[in-house]
Structure 1
Amino acid sequence: MSDKFFDYFSILIKGLPVTLSLSFAGIITACLIAIILSVLITTTSKWYIVKPIKTYLIVFTGTPLLVQLFLIYYGPAQFTFISQNLPSLWRVISQPWFCAYLALTLNSAAYTTQIFAGAIKAVPQGQWQACVALGMNKTQTLKVILPYALKRALSTYSNEIIFVVKGTALTSTITLMDIMGYNQFLYGTYYEFSIFIATGCIYLLINGLLSIMMRLIEKRALAFESTTH
């Protein structure tokens, strides 16, 4: 059993590059989008900015990631004019990796926007007022407030990073050979329960390392609080 377990493990890790590339690309892009959206939704009251953002948040936090993945992957194929008239675009949006990346990014960006927006709103009013008293404009104020808010959001945001990595397991449903894709291949061949144990161990190892890394980053980012007491 142990020999088989390590044999399965060695095959499963062949899907590691796809899982990691999707995870990190999705996390980075989603974080950048979320920073922009959270700033917009917390610093403006213009309905034509706020309403579309809130609609986006409702749609992507209110529907399952698997449904979003299917819509993005299979949806464009329903419109033949795209493949006929826009071949360059079709070559991109028909790629499973890109569709998985887009679904993970949009889904994570929605949740991350809520986290960052909540952190910005939680910044004490006294800090905003202090920036105004110093004669800072909105851009200068954000340069002071935003880093502080993002540091305070790290604890919650680290959970979202873990969710993205676990979410990549769904991408095997659109033919991507990530870790879960190799899991399905092996199980369909050998029907061994230990295959799922090996798969779980790989995800546990990845997420464990990410958790440790995020805790170290959080500790370093919030070190200024311990020095002020």
Structure 2
Amino acid sequence: MDLDLILQTFGKLIGGAGTTIALIVPALMLGIVLATVLAVMRMSGNGLLSRLARGYVFVFRGTPLLVQIFLIYFGLGQFSALWKSLGVWDWPMREAFPCAVIAFALNTAAYTSEIIRGGLLAVPFGQIEAARACGMSRLTVFRRITVPIAIRQALPAYGNEVILMVKASSLASIITIMEITGIAKQINSQTFAPFEVFTAAGILYLAMNFVVAMGIRGVEWKLTPHMRRRA
């Protein structure tokens, strides 16, 4: 094993980490907004909205992310004339980077919506009743009781989803995006040292996910004062 090559490769891959972060952050932001809408649709009591949200989740959880990336990258661009006729800006459908962000956002929204729904369903009804007995309005109960408890309940599972998305970002290299895995493939084609190159890539992914895990743990610690007192 060539340690010098691992160190050299690691230095080159750090530049790709910026691209990976640029992919994941907007995808997670768009995904959580869409996931919130889907979770509200599932819990709205409206049969049509609930079935639409359930169908969305079924499709995006039941098909591979790689297939979704291919469909968006290679498929949507074929309807350029349609987008223009509808007055829709078709640039995102013609470029790899926005297509990858869209695919990641749509995929993570399906999983995150179930996490949010599970967090909301885990809120003890007794606490909601107690808040209403104290004279709180529905909006105040939702803002001060339901949302904080739901976030605490959903945070560990959402942390796992963020870590999975960091790892899934390696699939973006399939559509020519030079993130960590894309650069690692390029270096491997030049050095023919897959063990050293992909060891460096694995270490970088591990470091990024360690930061994510520590960040989620810090937020969880901040949101659970009773656990801090017990510790």
Q: Secondary structure at the match of 1:89?
A: coil
Deviation at 1:74, TM superposition (A): 0.7
Letter in 1 for 2:200: A
Q: 1:215 aligns with which of 206, 214, 217?
A: 217
Query: Which residue of 2 is the match for residue 56 of structure 1?
Result: 56
Residue identity over aligned pairs, in percent, reads: 33
Scaled by the length of structure 1, what TM-score is found? Answer: 0.91
Query: Which residue of 1 is the match for residue 178 of structure 2?
Result: 177
Q: CA separation in 2, counterparts of 1:98 and 1:170?
A: 14
Deviation at 1:6, TM superposition (A): 1.4
Q: Secondary structure at the match of 1:177?
A: coil
Would the aligned equivalents of 1:15 and 1:177 in 2 still touch at CA under 8 Å? Answer: yes
Query: Which residue of 2 is the match for residue 3 of structure 1?
Result: 4
Q: CA separation in 2, counterparts of 1:53 and 1:138?
A: 24
Q: Secondary structure at the match of 2:178?
A: coil
Structure 1: 5+ residue stretches without partners: none
Deviation at 1:84, TM superposition (A): 6.0
Q: Secondary structure at the match of 2:90?
A: helix
Would the aligned equivalents of 2:80 and 2:90 in 1 still touch at CA under 8 Å? Answer: no
Would the aligned equivalents of 1:76 and 1:82 in 2 still touch at CA under 8 Å? Answer: no
Would the aligned equivalents of 2:77 and 2:93 in 1 still touch at CA under 8 Å? Answer: no
Q: Deviations over 1:60-108 (max 9, x none)?
A: 1111111111111111133252476478622122121111111111111
Q: CA separation in 2, counterparts of 1:175 and 1:79?
A: 21
Query: Which residue of 2 is the match for residue 103 of structure 1?
Result: 103
Would the aligned equivalents of 2:221 and 2:228 in 1 still touch at CA under 8 Å? Answer: no
Deviation at 1:226, TM superposition (A): 5.2
Would the aligned equivalents of 2:221 and 2:227 in 1 still touch at CA under 8 Å? Answer: no
Would the aligned equivalents of 2:122 and 2:153 in 1 still touch at CA under 8 Å? Answer: no
Aligned length: 228
Q: Relative to structure 1, is the Cα distance of residues 183 and 217 closer, same or farther in structure 2, using a 3 angstrom cutoff?
A: same
Letter in 1 for 2:189: G
Deviation at 1:57, TM superposition (A): 0.6
Deviation at 1:125, TM superposition (A): 1.5
| 1:26-37 alignment, distance < 5 Å | 26-37=27-38
Would the aligned equivalents of 1:22 and 1:100 in 2 still touch at CA under 8 Å? Answer: yes
Would the aligned equivalents of 2:115 and 2:154 in 1 still touch at CA under 8 Å? Answer: yes
Structure 2: 5+ residue stretches without partners: none
Letter in 1 for 2:24: S
Q: Secondary structure at the match of 2:22?
A: helix
